[in-house]
Amino acid sequence: MSEDKPGFWKRMFGKTESGATGPGGEPQPTLARYKRERQLGRGSMGEVWLATDTQTGHQVALKLLALQREFSPEDLADVRQRFMREAHAAGQLQHPDILQVLDAGESGADAWIAMEYVRGHDLSHYSRAGHLLPVADALRLGQRLARALAYAHRQGVVHRDIKPANVMYDADSGQLKVMDFGIARVADGSRTRTGLVLGTPSFMSPEQLAGLKVDGRSDLFSLGVMLYQLLTGHLPHQSESMARLMQKIALEPPPDVRHFRPALPEALALLLALALEKRPELRYADGDQMAQDIEAVLAAGLPEALLSDSVAAATPAAASNTAIDKTVDPFAQTQRVDLAGGEAGQNRAPPPPTPQK
């Protein structure tokens, strides 16, 4: 094995709680180093806060993961160890379009991760009809994301939960950041006992939903789903039933993207069909290949109708053919998917605090 880059664990030295050590015997950092300022959001796995690093004075995004709420007591120790290994791997990623992991640690039975703080919206802001990005802009973002994933996959890191909510974008500066590398992996250590996989069902690949071993091609499937949604405001597969959704993803080809947006070029429709192939061996082998094909679509030029149309998603005729309201996705958040045949369980965020009178 190659030696770890020194940066991640080195940043942890000198800021430890008494007796706390990492998976390799390295000291762990303390949560007390970070002063919480305000809550930025609440998600399926916990909360995200804007915080200040009291040693450097820099602002960071502090994610608090409620592990003991999500996992059984007998799985907690294994889950925490896996979290630290995944945080360590994510901390080695140095790419302009990947959010930098600064620190990670444990707080009682739970865990936390400190990341660089960036401004902007996550891409779910641009995934609904009426709020879509211009087609050329969406494609350029897809190209950058494909290259960022190719870089991570070469480092042996698979994201496992690529979706619009895990990508930050600042339209003013053009800054793009993939977030939460490895977070969906924390459940894998307990999967053999519980039959659960953590992920976002509407964006998961067939092999991930089946509980099989996944590689970078699974992330590229998810990127294909996300690009499809950013271009149309619709998901390629959707159902109000979890069982039916899994069946569609596993067995049924998605509608041609031009069903929802007829002006899109054929080359783009073929690109997305390749990204959404059911069998991994038929998909793009790596993100660089996908990025090259996106570049070819852009180089060929887009129809005039698309250059002046930045917000239209589906034609009225196409929209009327859909049985489900595509603006509401019951499986758009991270869930624990029971592969043993039970029901999928939403990782519910805690209820909002009661307003002060």
161 catalytic residue (yes or no): yes
Q: Which residues pair with 176 in a beta bridge?
A: 169
- CA 45 remoteness from chain centre: 13
- Between the alpha carbon of residue 97 and those of residues 133, 151, 170, 174, 218, the distances in Å are 18, 10, 12, 10, 19
Q: What end-to-end distance do the CA atoms of the chain give, in Å? A: 58
- Per the listing, tokens 């970078």 go with 216
- Between the alpha carbon of residue 346 and those of residues 70, 178, 324, 341, the distances in Å are 10, 23, 20, 15
* Long-range contacts formed by 245-249: CB under 8 A, 24+ apart: 245/201, 245/202, 245/331, 246/201, 246/209, 249/201, 249/204, 249/205, 249/206, 249/209
For the chain, helix (H) and strand (E) counts, in that order, are 12, 13
**The one catalytic residue among 97, 103, 161, 329:** 161
Amino acid at 7: G
Positions marked active-site: 161
